[in-house]
Amino acid sequence: MNKKWDFWIDRGGTFTDVIGRDPQGRLHPRKLLSENPEVYADAAIQGIRDLLGLKSGTAIPADRIGDIKMGTTVATNALLERKGDRVLLLITKGFRDALRIAYQARPDIFAKEIILPEQVYERVIEIDERVRADGCVERLLDIAACRPAIEQAKADGIDAVAIVFMHAWKYPDHEKAVAKVCRKIGFEQISVSHEVSPLIKLVGRGDTTVVDAYLSPILSRYVQRVAGELGPGPRLMFMMSSGGLTAADMFQGKDALLSGPAGGVVGMVETAKLAGFDKVIGFDMGGTSTDVAHYDGEYERAFDTEVAGVRIRAPMMRIHTVAAGGGSILHYEAGRFRVGPDSAGANPGPAAYRRGGPLAITDANVMLGKLRPDFFPTIFGPGQDQPLDVETVRDKFAALAAEIGDGRSPEAVAEGFVTIAVENMANAIKKISVQRGYDVTEYLLNCFGGAGGQHACLVADALGMEAVLIHPFSGLLSAYGIGLSTVFASRQQALLKPLAEESRSPIEDLIAALRQGVVAELAAQGIAEAAIASKPVLQIRYDGTDTALPVNFEHGSIFRARSDFEAAHKAQFGFVYENKPMVVEAVGVEGSDAGAAARDETESSLEDKAASPWQIRQFFADGGWRDAGIFQRDGLKPGHKVAGPALIIEPNQTIVVEPGWQAGITARNHVLLRRIEKKARQAALGTEADPVMLEVFNNLFMSIAEQMGVTLQNTAYSVNIKERLDFSCAVFDRHGALVANAPHMPVHLGSMDRSVETVIRLNSGDIHPGDVFALNAPYNGGTHLPDITVVTPVFSLPLEGRVAAKRSGGVLSEGTANASSTAATTPSAAFGGTSPS
């Protein structure tokens, strides 16, 4: 038996979660404030002391600790707050503003004043060198000319340097030479793009390199501080954004941005597997935001991620975040309900927190009786000793109901806001599932985070899902997932070769070289080569497009790789190109410790019976008050069943069992919620605009337009579309009136309806399923001739002559504004949207 304690830690922005596993294998959870300088210097170290029974400041006996696995937001917070180290950027001459200009995509499409994110590098020095895409040296490296400027930067106190040259991912000699000079000058942190991110595209590779230089020093100092407190005995590992662990001395800034949330993804997957599910959607709802993730047999990693305005080209768990949490503020304006995206935060917090805050989703659940003050910590008010303020919440909702003035009760108003919040979260899940070709009704919803249990059943209903899992450690699932993670390493390298038999040799040679690097990294952490499981992955795209899809290459078959890519492209985008060349953009190899012992959870015998409620209260659901049983989680045993409506009270959350749902306690002590009654369809609302459903349908139709835009961007050939995002998508009714548009380029939106009206007018009675109309004539709603408007009719079933038109307009040629034009028909032919037949 292991005689030592192991610790799994997630150091978040607000709280630090610590789970200790004692020598007998029992788990002990602990939650602390991440920043509490009056009491302790570091929350992670204090959590370890608390679980070992040591006083604050006491030395930690290293012989009592085995492994420490840790995720941290230190790097993320430094990037968000722009508190990293001072960085010098060395870049090819002529490209000093390349990372600032980036792709020219506007961060806020409707903002009148564009405020670009602050750059993380402090100073730029252009290096006189240039290697072309074919490897030809256009300008020899002249490091002597700029060495004085580099030495001056070092003398001015800049100690981190990022080196980014054109095409260095393939031809790195110039970067190597400059890095050697920087080492001689004495820079402590030197990040070189061909080592940090050896992938094509200067902007992503450059940003990743700068971020690595910016964050690695501060991360290194934190790691050293933690290691110093622990002493030489314990094995300290950190969670990477890719979802695997690495030794503390190998932890880099570029790999730390999703350190904590990646643990949540691992936790949601591994706990779902233990519950018998292999398809899972993760739903992590906190106070200010909700994170969602998708799993279908393999972890999904993204290689193009934007964090705090910086583009990262490094493997990260694919996590989608939406600004909807318990603190999301409720708005009523112009006859329409709206939830968020602004948040009440922790201070002042929702109205119920007794700090004068606005109404928020938490207050709506208090109003509905789903959050009960008598089962909530008494930590509010000036003395932090009062319960949730129910009276203030009731008064505010009563005032809001009177302002709306349509006869609905304050409870109905609160339920309307919850409905909108649920739809917002459901739409976020659609973006990572339905939008990418997955049928979400076949999945388990694994719910965690402090506010998730209040909305789990409602979110599942909104998506047609029929099973929800809530783990006993759902409030600390990121820390739990970090504990279940294994040591992991990966390597990627751009290739740009056709997916064809003649490319087999360079593909296999690159795989062998990358595997060698992965094995060496894992071997340096004490993992024997025989215990390493590795997997090659090809990033494949159609020639001319920019969206590469990952395809496993364990089988080594080019033919199968083609068919797997086509299947993935068909599922995500709805079509495949016939006889279109495919390109292997990059090759990757992933390796992990296959010998690590998987954690199992003890199964108990089932006591199959309906649990008896501790109390009977009421909560508001489906338009009326309903009797609801109150159950203490500690009193529920494996096999017990709880039929909704009911509330299950846990130490850190409330689980709402909605009508038509049943909660069962599994043999592993998980709460598994299932819908046991078919959900009733809502009756027609009448002809008056309902402010709740108005917002629900607005978000739904906008989501459709956004999905159109994502597909257009990811399948486009034009740089203007796929990088600058110069296009617009919208949905119209059968008369050509605008229903909803996505937040795309505004210039196209003004005349979109005229384009659709023209198509309907010119083709009246001759519009059929499968028709697609194109027009660019300025007199028929076009903007200018190079902007092509595509109108596709969508028929309801059965066909009744009713049509909803969707329209997407995009700039399909570069340099579209011709300064020499003297007429609307210059510079090309105009076509006006007549029938294609």
User: With helix as H, strand as E and coil as C, how does 532-589 read?
Assistant: EEEEEEEEEEECCCCCCEEEECCCCCHHHHHHHHHHHHHHHHCCCCCCCCEEEEEEEE
Architecture per CATH, 85-209: 3-Layer(aba) Sandwich (3.40)
- Residue 360 backbone dihedrals phi, psi, to 5 degrees: -135, 175
d(CA 644, CA 639): 16
pLDDT value of position 804: 44
In terms of average pLDDT, the best of 233-247, 304-318, 337-351, 428-442 is 233-247
> Distance from CA of residue 212 to its chain's centroid?
20
- The contacts of residue 306 (CB under 8 Å, 6+ apart) are 312
Confidence at residue 682, expressed as pLDDT on a 0 to 100 scale: 61
pTM: 0.83
675 bridge partner residues: 661
Averaged pLDDT score across all residues of the chain? 85
Give the Cα separation of 429 and 441 in Å (integer): 12
| pLDDT band per the 50, 70, 90 thresholds, residue 831 | low
Residue type, 608: D
For residue 806, what pLDDT is reported?
Answer: 45
pLDDT score recorded for residue 217: 94
Q: What is the pLDDT of residue 346?
A: 66
Q: What are phi and psi of 84, to 5 degrees?
A: -80, -170
Place 444 in a pLDDT band, splitting at 50, 70 and 90.
Answer: very high
How big is the chain by its Cα radius of gyration, in Å?
29
More confident: 185 or 708 = 185
- Span 363-390, average pLDDT: 84
Residue 459: pLDDT band (50, 70, 90) is very high
For residue 636 the two structure tokens come to: 């529920």
Contact 192, 175 (CB under 8 A): yes
- Residues whose CB falls within 8 Å of the CB of residue 670, separated by 6 or more in sequence, listed in order: 271, 274, 275, 469, 470, 471, 472
Task: State yes or no: pLDDT of 815 exceeds 70.
Answer: no
Pick the CATH number of 691-811 from 3.30.450, 3.30.70, 3.30.1490, 3.30.410: 3.30.450
CATH for 487-593 is: 3.30.1490
Q: Report how far residue 810's alpha carbon sits from residue 755's, in angstroms, rounded to the nearest whole number.
A: 13
pLDDT at 112: 79
The answer, yes or no, to whether residue 801 has pLDDT greater than 70, is no
| pLDDT reading at 821 higher than 80 | no
pLDDT digits (tens, 9 = 90+) for 377-411: 777 777 777 888 899 999 999 999 998 888 889 99
| Distances from the Cα of 390 to the Cα of 195, 416, 648, angstroms | 57, 19, 20
The band of 822, judged by pLDDT with boundaries at 50, 70 and 90, is: very low
pLDDT at res. 683: 55
Please state, in angstroms and rounded to a whole number, the distance separating the CA atoms of residues 398 and 187: 63
More confident of the two residues 18 and 822: 18
CA–CA gap between residue 454 and residue 658 (Å, rounded): 9
Q: How confident is the model at residue 687 (pLDDT cuts 50, 70, 90)?
A: low
- The confidence band for 605, taking pLDDT boundaries of 50, 70 and 90, is confident
Give yes or no for residue 653 having a pLDDT over 90.
no
pLDDT digits (tens, 9 = 90+) for 531-546: 999 999 999 999 988 8
Q: For residues 687 and 139, which has the higher predicted lDDT (pLDDT)?
A: 139
pLDDT of residue 185: 94
Q: Which two tokens stand for residue 475?
A: 């409030």
How high is the pLDDT of residue 779?
A: 80
Phi-psi region of 74 (alpha: psi -120 to 50; beta: other; left: phi over 0): alpha
Say how many C-beta atoms besides its own lie within 10 A of residue 160's C-beta: 26
830 has pLDDT over 70: no
Q: Are 790 and 809 in contact (CB under 8 A)?
A: yes
pLDDT digits (tens, 9 = 90+) for 157-176: 999 999 999 999 999 999 99
pLDDT confidence bin for 684, thresholds 50/70/90: low
User: Rounded distance, CA 742 to CA 130, Å?
Assistant: 41
Name the strand (E) or helix (H) holding 161.
Answer: strand 160-164
Residue 478, both tokens: 């990121």
142-162 mean pLDDT: 93
Q: For the chain, how are helix, strand and coil distributed in percent, rounded to 5?
A: 35, 30, 40
Flag whether pLDDT at 563 surpasses 70. yes
Contacts of 260 (CB under 8 A, 6+ apart): 10, 11, 12, 71, 72, 73, 76, 239, 478
SS in 3 state form for 303-366? CCEEECCEEECCCEECCEEECCCCCEEEEEECCEEEEEEEECCCCCCCHHHCCCCCCEHHHHHH
State pLDDT tens for residues 250-273: 999 999 988 888 999 999 999 999
Two tokens, residue 371 = 């959050």
- Span between the terminal Cα atoms of the chain, in Å: 78
Per-residue pLDDT reduced to its tens digit, 472-488: 888 888 899 999 999 99
Indicate if the pLDDT at residue 686 is higher than 80: no
Cα(250)–Cα(284) distance, rounded to whole angstroms? 29
113-138 tens-digit pLDDT: 877 788 999 999 999 999 999 999 99
- Tell me the C-alpha distance between 45 and 56, whole Å: 9
Mean pLDDT of 144-155: 93
Q: What is the helix (H) or strand (E) element at residue 649, kind and residue range?
A: strand 646-649
pLDDT category at 825 given cuts 50, 70, 90 is very low
pLDDT (0 to 100) of residue 599:
67
Residue spans per domain, the chain: 85-209, 328-424, 487-593, 691-811
Query: Percent of the chain having pLDDT more than 70?
Result: 92
Q: Which of 295, 457, 436, 475 is nearest to 365 (CA)?
A: 457
**Of the ranges 351-355, 677-681, 695-699, which is most confident?**
351-355
pLDDT at position 102: 86
The CA distances from residue 797 to 34, 538, 552, 687, 707, in Å, are 55, 41, 39, 22, 22
User: Confidence class of residue 824 from pLDDT cuts 50, 70 and 90?
Assistant: very low
State pLDDT tens for residues 202-250: 999 999 999 999 999 999 999 999 988 888 889 999 999 999 999 998 9
- In whole angstroms, what is the distance from residue 598 CA to residue 596 CA? 6
- Cα distances from 596 to residues 34, 260, 317, 434, in angstroms, run 30, 21, 21, 34
Residue 837 has pLDDT above 50, yes or no: no
